[in-house]
Chain A
Amino acid sequence: MNAEPLTQLDPGYTTVMRIEGLLITVPFIIAAGALSIANVLPAWAPGIPVLLLAIILVIVLPIKRYRSRGYHMAGDRLRVVKGVLFHADTVVPFSRVQHLDVEQGPLERAFGIARLILHTAGTHNASVTLPGLAHADATAMREDIRQHVKRESL
């Protein structure tokens, strides 16, 4: 069951992560600008670490994250894989799903991306999040899983 190919997330998810990375670097850019103006160091010096941070957060990490993530939806279970340094590979059988959420933040909405969240009754992994789906896919998957939950319970 580990041989099955993982479905990649929506490519738009990389863009969302890039913008999020950029948002994280903004305060550092401002701080670096302030340092440059203050003339404590040579004007270019604070730029270097900020540039490195920006490269990592905006260019490297989103790609790595995107590549490391994926999911596989089988007939009765969903497998979610994630993690660049720390891998986690979680499988939730639909028969154990208590309820489902599809969530969107403002950035995600702008790019038509959504998160699918599966809630189980377990203490560990009480909710399993699958981010970076196209909104239509996420709702379709939710309906699928819901149908399944309903059918099994009858």
Chain B
Amino acid sequence: MNGELSEAAQVSEDEGAIEMGEWRRVNPLTMVAQGIRTLGGAIVPAAFILFGAASQEAMLGQVAAYAVPIILLIIAANIVPAWLGWYRLRYRIGTSDVRLEQGIISRSARSVPYDRIQDVSLEQKLIPRLLGLVEVKFETGAGGKEELKLALVSEDEGERLRETVRALVEDSDEAGAVGEDTGVTQGVAAPGRLLFAMGQGRLFTYGLFSFSLVIFAVILGAAQQFEFLLPEGAWDYVTDWFVDERYTDAGGYIDSLDLTARILGILTFLFTLIVVGLASGVVKTFVRDWDFRLERTAKGFRRRRGLLTKTDVVMPVHRVQALVVSTGFIRRRFGWHGLSFISLAQDSGSANHDVAPFARMDEIAPIAGEAGFSLPDGAEDWRRPSPNYYFDRAVISALVIFVIGTFGFTVAAASAGQMVPGLAIIAGIVLALIALVIAREFYLWRYDRHALDPAQVLSRRGWLAPRTQVANRVKLHSVEIAQGPLGRWHGYCNLNFGMAGGNFAFNGLNLEDARKLRAAVLDSIASVDFANLPR
């Protein structure tokens, strides 16, 4: 089996350059990668069950006899369909489209024409990476799930596929439109110019700012999921702890401590929480963004990242619809920001492509410039939304809190029957929340703003962690002014732009302002035809 595999791999390796219009199969090692994955999924529970059974001595003899045949059966049940699936899957790089036919009994054939392919990206998970295989994705902008995927081909083959298809895509683009990048078709393999990279030091800082306590939720979830695997009596112990009031012992123990010890205990707890949160943030960041490199190649932006799952995404410059500069409210104090692109293609499930997740503004500006955008530099004519919008929002949220608070207060008062300190606390919390909501809306009104420059629309929203969005005027598709009953009463509206691949809206604008903006934007949209958009 092994010899046969490597022989087959040899053959596909020797084929070299990609022939047009020739049916091909994916790399046979795919079966190994899939096998390892499914076996990994099957073996862990199997091992647990065997272990569980074996720990009861009476069962040991019976289990040992069956263990080997069972495991062999599992392996056989995986190999046959894997081989059939591999044998029945074929793809073709044709003159006008990419085709993929698959299915063991029911066949499906998918064809994606070149001028619909937005991007070709490569992804390498851990096991395929050890085997030197990649997954090739042809993205169509159809929302992620309906794209064409080739799993898995050898690394060289993936690279060749990508270059071939990308060259064909460019050709079909140029037949339809005259774009800014005519004549850039050559230089397919030209090495990129490094725009942005994150070293380990940067990653570590980024990780520290990505504080997350998700790990606790994961542990709890896993404990519930694999409850049956826990040593018998684990839950009983926990239940006993509460039912038998064993926790009073613990309470008594705490009672016996003096104040300093208690404070120390709480501090230790908080400290542990913070350390775990920071550590999980760092680990998550290292796994996701390891060796982050953003390059400008002849075709566009090329981003590579990942420790266990390596991804390699290339996004053509002209497909960038808008860019988003975001930050967090702590990292902002240290001058860290993140840049992402909005485009038609998807980036592992999210519509925005991270291109510089953690960078200084002076690193971000050149990248934005490369994409054909200019970041706000203070020369813009920033305008504020209507104060009525924030006033109404504050009133509505205060009312909601007030109603809920009053309800809670009444229920509590009725059950208490008399004035107790708890009631005062409830009233205080309600008042504090209302004050907070009002303060928030007030500050949002002070900080939210939008502007229009000759080529772009800009918006800045948020107070503690502002988010700046910049969209190209000619890449918008429609403009809508929407007004609810309150908006009509108080003279404000939402201005929604139709943008490919994302949302772009200014909320709570003065009606007059919105109309002026719309007229200006529409004039620049209407003057450039869709087919002549820089593609």
> Which A residues fall within an 8 A CB radius of B?
1-2, 76-77, 83, 85-98, 120-126, 128, 152-153
CB-based contact A124/B499 at 8 Å = yes
Given contacts A95-B526, A95-B529, A153-B531, could you give 6 more A-B pairs where the C-beta distance is less than 8 Å?
A86-B482, A86-B484, A96-B478, A125-B498, A126-B498, A152-B529
| Residues of chain A lying within 8 A (CB to CB) of residue B518 | 1, 91
Most chain-B Cβ atoms within 10 A of its Cβ — which of A2, A94, A126? A2
Category for how many chain B residues contact A: 20 to 34
Q: Closest residue to B531 on the A side, CB-wise?
A: A153
Whose C-beta in chain B lies nearest to the C-beta of A77? B526
The complex places the Cα of A95 from the Cα of B500 at a distance, in Å, of: 15
Given contacts A122-B477, A122-B478, A125-B496, contact A85 B484 (CB under 8 A): yes
| Closest Cβ neighbor of B496 among chain A residues | A124
Q: Hey, which chain A residues are within 8 Å of B292, CB to CB?
A: none
By a CB distance below 8 angstroms, the chain B residues around A94 are: 526
B478-504 interface (Cβ within 8 A of A): 478-485, 487-488, 493, 496-504
Q: B482, B505, B526: which contacts A89 (Cβ < 8 A)?
A: B482
Please determine whether A120 and B498 come into contact, CB atoms closer than 8 angstroms. Answer: yes
Could you tell me if B526 and A90 are in contact, using CB atoms closer than 8 angstroms?
no
Which among B522, B526, B529, B530 is the interface contact of A121 at CB below 8 angstroms?
B530
Please tell me if B476 contacts chain A, counting CB pairs below 8 Å.
Answer: yes
Given contact pairs A124-B496, A124-B498, A124-B499, A92 touches B478 in the complex (Cβ within 8 A): yes
Binding site for A on B (CB under 8 A): 476-485, 487-488, 493, 496-505, 515, 518-519, 522, 525-526, 528-532
Q: Which of chain A's residues have a CB closer than 8 A to the CB of B528?
A: 95
With A2-B515, A96-B525, A126-B498 in contact, do A90 and B480 touch (Cβ < 8 Å)?
yes
Q: Which of B478, B487, B501, B515 contacts A125 (CB 8 A)?
A: B478
Complex: A80 Cα to B218 Cα, angstroms: 50
Chain B residues with Cβ below 8 Å from A91 are: 478-480, 518, 522
> Given the complex, which residues of A lie within 8 Å of B502, measured CB to CB?
123
Known contacts A1-B519, A120-B498; A90 and B479 CB within 8 A of each other: yes
Cα(A91)–Cα(B480), bound, Å: 6
Q: Are A125 and B477 in contact (CB under 8 A)?
A: yes
- Between A88, A96, A122, the greatest number of chain B beta carbons within 10 A of the residue's beta carbon is seen for A122
Q: List 23 A-B contacts (CB under 8 A).
A: A2-B515, A85-B484, A86-B482, A86-B484, A87-B482, A87-B487, A88-B483, A90-B478, A91-B479, A93-B525, A93-B526, A95-B526, A96-B530, A120-B478, A122-B497, A122-B500, A123-B501, A123-B502, A124-B480, A124-B498, A126-B498, A152-B529, A152-B532
- Contacting pair B525 A87 (CB below 8 A): no
Smallest CB separation, A45 vs chain B (Å): 32
Residue from A1, A2, A95, A125 whose CB has the most chain B CB atoms within 10 Å: A95
